A = this chain, B = another copy of it.
Amino acid sequence: MSETHTIALMPSGRRGDAPHGAALLDAARALGVEIESICGGRQTCGKCQIVVEEGNFPKHGLASAPNHLTPMSAAEAAWLAEHGIAGRRLACACQVVGDLLITVPEESQARKQIIAKAATDRAIEIDPAVRWVYVKVEEPTMDSHGGDWERLQKALADQWALTNLTIDSVVLPTLQPALKQGKHKATVTLWHDREVLRVEPGYKDGAYGVAVDIGSTTVVLHLCDLRTGAVLATEAAMNPQVRYGEDLMSRVSYCMMEPQGLARMHRAILVALNELAGKAAARAGLTTDDIMDAALVGNPVMHHLLLGIDPVELGGAPFALAVSESVDLKARDLNLKFHPAARVHVLPCIAGFVGADNMAVQLAEAPHQQDELILIIDVGTNAEIVLGNRDGVLCASSPTGPAFEGAQITHGQRAAPGAIERVRIDPLTLEPRWKVIGFDDWIAPSDSIPESARATGICGSGIIEVVAEMFVSGITDADGRFDENGGERSPRIRFNGRAGEYVLVDESQTATGQPIVVKQTDVRAIQLAKAALYAGTKLLMRHRGVTAVDKVLLAGAFGSYIDPKYAMILGLIPDCDLERVMAVGNAAGDGARIALLNKGQRLEALRLSRWVQHVQTATDANFQTEFVNAMALPHAADAFPHLAGLIPQRPAAGGNGRRSQRRRAVTAPAS
Q: Which residues of chain A from 127 to 175 have any CB-CB distance to chain B below 8 Å in the complex?
A: 140-150, 166-167, 169-170, 172-173, 175
Kindly report how many copies of this chain are found in the complex they form together: 2
Shortest Cβ distance from A319 into B: residue: B142
Q: What separation, in Å, do the CA atoms of A330 and B169 have in the docked complex?
A: 9
B residues near A170, Cβ cutoff 8 Å = 333
- Decide yes or no whether A484 CB sits under 8 A from chain B: no
Across the interface, which residues of B come within 8 angstroms of A317, CB to CB?
142
Known: A142-B616, A173-B307. A149 touches B318 (CB 8 A): no
User: Which of B147, B148, B172, B325 lies in contact with A149, CB distance below 8 A?
Assistant: B325
Which stretch (A308-316, A451-459, A466-474) binds chain B? A308-316
- A176 in complex: contacting residue of B142, B169, B320, CB < 8 Å: B320
Is there a chain B Cβ closer than 8 Å to A342's Cβ? no
Residue of B nearest to A300 (CB): B147
Task: Look across to chain B and name the residue whose beta carbon is closest to the beta carbon of A325.
Answer: B150
User: A610 on the interface (CB 8 Å rule)?
Assistant: yes
Instruction: Say if the beta carbon of A329 comes within 8 Å of chain B.
Output: yes
Residues of the B chain whose Cβ atoms lie less than 8 Å from the Cβ of A140: 313, 318, 320
A39 at the interface (CB under 8 A from B): no
The reply on A641 being an interface residue by CB < 8 A is no
Instruction: Answer whether residue A71 sits at the interface, using C-beta atoms and an 8 A cutoff.
Output: no
Contact A349:B619 (CB < 8 A) given known A169-B307, A318-B141, A327-B172: no
Q: Is A144 touching B320 in the complex (CB atoms < 8 A)?
A: yes
A318 contact set on B, CB distance < 8 A:
140-142, 144
| Shortest distance between the CB of A521 and any CB in chain B (Å) | 32
A177 at interface, CB cutoff 8 A = yes
Distance A144 CA – B140 CA, assembled complex (angstroms)? 57
CA distance A429 to B176 in the complex (A): 60
Provide the bound-state CA to CA distance between A310 and B143, in Å: 21
Q: In the complex, what residues of B have CB within 8 A of residue A321's CB?
A: 146-148
Which residues of B have CB within 8 Å of A310?
173, 176-177
Partner of A150, one of B146, B175, B177, B323: B323
**A400: Cβ under 8 A from any B Cβ:** no
Query: What residues of chain B lie closer than 8 Å to A334, measured between beta carbons?
Result: 169
Chain B residues contacting A167 (CB-CB under 8 Å) are 323
A618 within 8 A of B: yes
Residues of B within 8 A of A172 (CB): 307-309, 322-323, 327
Residue of B nearest to A346 (CB): B169
Residues of B within 8 A of A312 (CB): 176
Q: Is the pair B309, A173 in contact by a Cβ cutoff of 8 Å?
A: yes
**Does A398 touch B at the CB level, under 8 Å?**
no
- Chain B contacts for A329, CB-based, 8 A: 169
Query: How far is it, in angstroms, between the C-alpha of A411 and the C-alpha of B323 when the chains are bound?
Result: 65
Known: A140-B318, A142-B318, A149-B322. 5 other contacts (CB 8 A): A147-B321, A147-B349, A148-B322, A172-B323, A332-B333
